[in-house]
Chain A
Amino acid sequence: MIEIDEIEVLLVEDNPNDAELAIRSLKKHNLANNVHWVKDGAEALEYVFGNDPDTAPHMNGGLKFILLDLKMPKVNGKEVLKKIKADPKTNSIPVVVMTSSNDDQDVEECYRLGANSYITKPVEFEKFTKVVADLGYYWMIINDYPHR
């Protein structure tokens, strides 16, 4: 059982294939052994905000970053992004939007809503892997976090 405060990456992705590839890549590069995967926006919000404010991961500063897909059923990515970035308790968590769409409007809106980064998922496996690895490396290792 992984301790809650050991979870470092929240992967919000409805496509299980994409999820598998992403997790594999992170693990392969030893960047995130503790990845929590949720399949839709509702679960994501549930996880971030949680029922018990005291035990919600964000309180413990454990969440290093969120990989967020946009096109999802129930609650879609933009809404998740909006909510996370609107709440002072959670808005310091880096959110990397990683999605199939490279639509200008989507990009613009996500940045407006406060995304830290926007990545278009490459089709090719090698590129995809590299991107995820680079992301992981950056946000986990290079980027600084406020210490709690």
Chain B
Amino acid sequence: MSGNKTKDPPGLADKLRRSEKEITLRNESADVFLTIPDDEMYNEILKLVLPATESAFGAFGYLDENKSLVVPSMAGHLPSKYRVQKKNISFPRDAWGDNSWCRAIREKKAIYSNKPSTNMLGHHITNQRHISLPVLFRGEVIGLFQIANKKTDYNEADVQRLEIIAGFVAPELNARLQRERYEEQGQMAKENIRDREAKFRSIFEQAAIGIARMGIDGRWLEVNQRFSDIVGYTPQELMKLTFRDITHPDDLKNDLEYVRRLISGEIDNYTMEKRYIRKDGSEIWINVTGSGVRKPSGEPEYFITTVEDISQKKRAQTELIQMSKVFMDGRNPILIEDLSGNILRMNKEAERFYGFTSDELVGQPVTAIVAPEHHEQNRELQERCISGGAVRNVEGIRCDRSGKEIPVLQTLSLLKDEKGNPEAIASMVQDITELKLAEKQTQRVAVVEAANRELETFSYSISHDLRAPLRAIDGYSHIIVEDYRDRLDDEGKRLLDVVSDNARKMGELINDILELSRLSRQQLTPSIIDMKILAQSTFEELRAAAPEQKIVLKVESPPPARGDRVLIQQVMSNLLANAIKFTGNKATAVIEVGGSRKNSECTYFVRDNGAGFDMQFADKLFGMFQRLHSEEEFEGTGIGLSIVQRIIHRHGGRVWAEGQVGEGATLYFSLPSDRG
């Protein structure tokens, strides 16, 4: 259409210009968002906004996750002394006051003022007028514009213009913020992972326990230094080994079982004490824990094992067990008491000794098993022990369950805690019943021996002192007979003879007693005696005294005897003398001597075919002065066999006899055998 110029609605050109500007602005800001990656962007936007709003100064910020305002940029066409902020300034939400921009955000609307204000985002700017306008996206404030110092007053139109700008900035800002947030999170996540990685590494490397990653096949994938130190192999060497290679054979079975159950999922982890064999061949006790790491499919991927050197602990354990054993299994009854004397603990031997179980006595005062008359002494000993004195092998008396009193030797030891304070008392006793018995025995023996000695001295001096008067009796009777012969009749002489006879007999008795006494005192001088020769020579001596008698002596081969030669000769002499005496009535006397050895003794015999004796009275045969025949039949004091018995007994042997009246007698004696 030419010619007729239609008139445009008024302001349309303005509107069009404005729209153009807007579109340009929009495009330009979109560009900024797309191309400027970092916080520079805020400044670039401002560079577009300020001219568009004819403002001298502006700030553009966003709200962070905490809804605090962060202003990366405050730009302004200002003298260079007011530089563009390169830093981010943060306005924490809880510090917000009542300034216009705070209100603008809170109220989600623009607030403008043409009056000077002091609480601007840029404090150092003196401003005459400003607009604070929140940037809204889907109803939420995500940022803020503040523009200031237009040459003329701000008006609604300015606000609108800013609103429009804010309108198309909002989605871009939002997108940018979202992206940044994701990136940040991603970054943080990455950092976290890196952090955790680093932390894990340091734990792994520097841990005080051995850590290893082990493949399903048992081969080591990765080990830390401590693990390597524990087993003595370098990490490189370990990579070529499996756990089976270094596990102690006795522990392998259990270990494999655990691993199997771990793989199958029966258990999530396990812990066991086992031994590794180190590179140098030595054993080391370790506590191992194993857990499995699975793939998402559930399949086991690898194991993580931790290994702790427990050799110290094991040693301590063994020591403890051993010490416990010493206590528990010790041969002597031991009680542990507290400082007041109550029983805390007792060992097995104590249970047996006292006849109580631990349960019955623990908690009871120890006096429960101490003899009543010793309670005070017991308390004294405890006190002595606590104050550091020694209580060792002190005699005392304990009671068992039945009330029986047992003599003991007690030893108390003070047990102290780690600080050295008295904590408890260990009391140990030793049963000395047997010792006491032996003591009594020894005492008895000593008493008996003393009595014996006294008796011997007694009999010795008595015999001695009896002899002189006897001599006088006999002597003077004879003198009377000699000197008064012609004045004595036969009866007188006979009477005096009787006196004489008796004196003589008494003399013999005294001799015998003295002889017996002497034998008891005499020392034995042992030697080896040829019994055959002894029998023969003794016989010859005796035979000389009775040559007219017809005697046949048979000596078999008796074994040699071990004894005092003189005394054994006496034995032989007495026995043979008896044999000769009691065969005096036989036409031919037959005397046999023999012997044999059996086990630990030699038995000898002297047999005769003489008068014999009644076995009924056999036990009287060896008694002192016992006779089984009258004086008329056979003379003698009856001490001969007593002497034989005493000698043989002193040698540790036995005597006994067998006989038959009229047929003969056999006298036996035994001597402990010579062992060469």
Contacts and interface: CB of A to CB of B under 8 A. Distances in A.
Interface string A54-80: 000000000000000000000000000
A123 B476 contact: no
A123 B474 contact: yes
* Among A121, A122, A124, A125, residue most surrounded by chain B Cβ atoms (within 10 Å): A125
A103 B472 CA distance: 21
A121 to B, nearest CB: 7
Interface stretch (A16-24, A29-37, A81-89): A16-24
A17 B471 contact: yes
Contacts of A104: 518
Interface string B470-511: 111011111100000000000000000000100110110010
Contact of B471 (A24, A102, A103, A121): A121
B565 interface: no
B468 interface: yes
A47 interface: no
B654 interface: no
A103 B504 CA distance: 20
A121 B504 contact: no
Contact of A125 (B464, B468, B478, B518): B478
Interface residues of B, number: 21
A104 B521 CA distance: 11
Contact of A21 (B467, B475, B500): B475
Nearest to A102: B514
B216 to A, nearest CB: 103
Given A100-B464, A101-B464, A123 B471 contact: yes
A125 B507 CA distance: 11
Interface string B303-338: 000000000000000000000000000000000000
Contact of A124 (B460, B468, B479, B504): B504
Nearest to A69: B468
Given A18-B471, A18-B472, A101-B464, A123 B507 contact: yes
A15 B477 CA distance: 17
B539 to A, nearest CB: 26
A123 B464 contact: no
Interface in A110-148: 121-126, 128-129
Q: How large is the interface on A (under 10, 10 to 19, 20 to 34, 35 or more residues)?
A: 10 to 19
Contact of A18 (B468, B503, B510, B514): B468
Nearest to B479: A24
Contacts of A128: 471, 474-475
Nearest to B507: A123
Contacts of A102: 514
B478 A100 contact: no
Interface string B632-648: 00000000000000000
A86 to B, nearest CB: 27
A17 B472 contact: yes
Contacts of B474: 123-125, 128
Contacts of A121: 467-468, 471
**Which of B471, B477, B500 is most buried by chain A, counting CB atoms within 10 A of its CB?**
B471
A123 B476 CA distance: 12
Given A17-B472, A18-B471, A125 B510 contact: no
A65 B477 CA distance: 29
A125 B518 CA distance: 25
A136 B594 CA distance: 47
Interface of B: 460, 464, 467-468, 470-472, 474-479, 500, 503-504, 506-507, 510, 514, 518
Interface of A: 15, 17-18, 21, 24, 100-104, 121-126, 128-129
Given A123-B503, A123-B504, 12 more contacts: A18-B468, A21-B471, A100-B468, A123-B470, A124-B500, A125-B474, A125-B475, A125-B478, A125-B479, A128-B474, A128-B475, A129-B478
22 contacts: A17-B468, A17-B472, A17-B475, A18-B472, A21-B471, A21-B472, A21-B475, A100-B464, A100-B468, A103-B460, A104-B518, A121-B467, A122-B507, A123-B467, A123-B471, A123-B474, A125-B471, A125-B474, A125-B478, A125-B479, A125-B500, A128-B475
